[in-house]
Amino acid sequence: MKSADSENSEKRFLAARRVSYTLLAIVLVIYGLIHIRNFLYPVAFGFLLAYLLYPLASWLEKRGIARILANLVILFGALLSMGGLALAAYRIITPLAVDLPELAENAIANLSDIIIRLGGYFGFDGNNTKDLVNEQITYMFETGGEQIQNFFTATTNTIIFFGLLPVYIFLFLFYRTKFMYFLLKIAGRSNRKTMVDILREISEVMVRYLTGVFVVVFILFFINSLGIYIIGLQYAIPLGITAALFNFIPYFGTLLGGLVPFMFAFLVEGDISLAFRVVILFIIIQFIENNILTPNIVGGNVRVSPFFIIIGLVAASMIWGIPGMLLIVPLLAAIRIIFSHIEFMKPYAFLLGEEGTKKHSIQLSKISRILKQKLKRNK
C-alpha cells in the first residue's frame, strides 16, 4: 500500500501536470490565433454578419423564396446599402480630403513650433532643435517608400478580406441548418433541447447586439457632429462621423474617436483652448455613451459585466488588434449563454454576467421613475 505522503505527492504531480497542459494549450491557441489571423478575420466577421442578416433571410424563406435566392437577395441588398453609406461618407469627407495637403503642412508647422518651444523651455538651443525637427521630417519623407509598401500590403489584405467576406456570409447563411444538425449530433439526444435553447438564445442576442451597436453609432454621428460644430471646430460633420465610427469598439471607442478632432484642433488649428473644448466635449459624450446609450441600447442585450468586457477588449487587442476588439463582446456574450446552460459552469456564467450590479447602473427606466416621483411630489 502506498503511504499518505506518496499519495499526496502523486496528487500534486497530477494537478501540476493538468495545469501545465492547460497553460500549454492556452499558449498554443493564442499562438495559432495570432499567426492565422488573416485567415480567421473574414471567417469571424462573416459569421457575425450572417447572424445579423439571418432574420431577413429566414423571413424571405418563410414566404416561399428558395434559400439560395433569399440569401443572394439579402446579401446583394446589404452590399448596396453599405456601398450607399460609403458613397455618402465619401461625399461628406471629400472637402476634408481636398484640403488635406494644406492641413498636413499646418500640422507639421505647428508641431515643429511646439517642439522648438518645449526645447527652449528645457534649455535647448532653438536653432539646433529646429534643424533636428527638419531632419526628422525629411527622414520621414525619405523613408516614405517603405511606408507606401506597407500601405499597399495592408490594402491587398483588406481587398482580400472584403472580397471573401460576402462569400463567407453567404455560405454561413446557406449551410446554417447543416451546422445546426452537426451541433445537435455532437450534443446527443439527451442534450438536444439544451443545445437548441443555446443556439436560439445566441442568435437572438447576436442580432440585438449588432443592431444596437449600429443604432448607437448612428446616434453618435449626430451628437459628435453637433458638439464639434457648437465648439467652433472646422469640418464638424466629417470629424464627427470619423469619431463615431470608433464606437464599434465598446467603452474605448469614444475616447479613441475623440483623438481625431483633438489632434485636428491642437495641431492643424494650433488652438490650445479649442483642443481643451474638444476634450471637455468628448468627456461628456463618453459619459452619455457609456452610461446612457450603450447600457440601454446594447448592454441589456449581451448582459456581460463591463469589468470582463474591458478585460476582454485589452486581451483581444493584444491578440488580434482592432478586429479582436470588434469581435470580443459578442464572443463573451455567447460564452456566457453557453455557461448558463451547463450546470457546473453556471457560477462562471454568473461571474461573466451583470447580475448583482444592475441596481447601481444608470438606466432610462430609473431616470423616468425618478422624474415621475418628483412630478408627483410637486403636484
* Residue that has been written with the C-alpha cell 495545469 in this structure: 19
Please check whether residue 361 lies inside any domain of the structure: yes
CA distance 241 to 229: 12
What is the pLDDT, as a whole number, of residue 151?
41
Sequence-separated (6 or more) residues with CB below 8 Å from residue 298: 209, 212, 213, 216, 250
* Residue that has been written with the C-alpha cell 485636428 in this structure: 264
Please check whether residue 63 lies inside any domain of the structure: no
**How many structural domains is the chain composed of?**
1
Please check whether residue 228 lies inside any domain of the structure: yes
Determine how many CB atoms are found less than 10 A away from the CB of residue 238: 21
What is the pLDDT, as a whole number, of residue 226?
92
What is the pLDDT, as a whole number, of residue 5?
64
Please check whether residue 150 lies inside any domain of the structure: no
List alpha helices for the chain, DSSP H.
4-35, 37-62, 67-98, 100-121, 126-142, 144-174, 176-187, 192-231, 236-245, 253-263, 272-288, 294, 300-302, 306-320, 322-340, 346-352, 364-378
Please give the residue range of the domain that contains residue 345. 192-379
**Which DSSP symbol is given to 247?**
G
Please check whether residue 95 lies inside any domain of the structure: no
Task: Quote the pTM value.
Answer: 0.72
Instruction: Tell me the three state secondary structure of residue 304.
Output: strand
Q: What are phi and psi of 213, to 5 degrees?
A: -60, -45
Please check whether residue 78 lies inside any domain of the structure: no
Please check whether residue 288 lies inside any domain of the structure: yes
CA distance 183 to 104: 54
Nearest to 328 by CA among 346, 315, 345: 315
With beta carbons less than 8 A apart as the criterion, state whether 340 and 333 touch.
no
Q: Is 112 exposed, middle or buried (0-12, 13-18, 19+ CB in 10 A)?
A: middle
Q: pLDDT in tens for each of the 379 residues of the chain?
A: 456 666 677 777 777 888 888 888 888 888 888 888 878 888 888 888 888 888 888 888 888 888 899 889 988 888 888 888 778 777 777 776 666 666 666 666 666 666 666 666 665 655 565 566 566 555 554 454 444 444 444 445 556 666 788 889 999 999 988 988 898 888 888 888 888 888 888 888 888 888 888 888 889 989 999 999 999 888 888 888 888 888 888 778 888 888 888 988 888 877 788 889 999 999 999 888 877 787 777 756 678 887 888 888 888 888 888 888 888 888 888 889 988 888 888 888 888 887 766 555 555 555 666 666 666 666 6
Please check whether residue 108 lies inside any domain of the structure: no
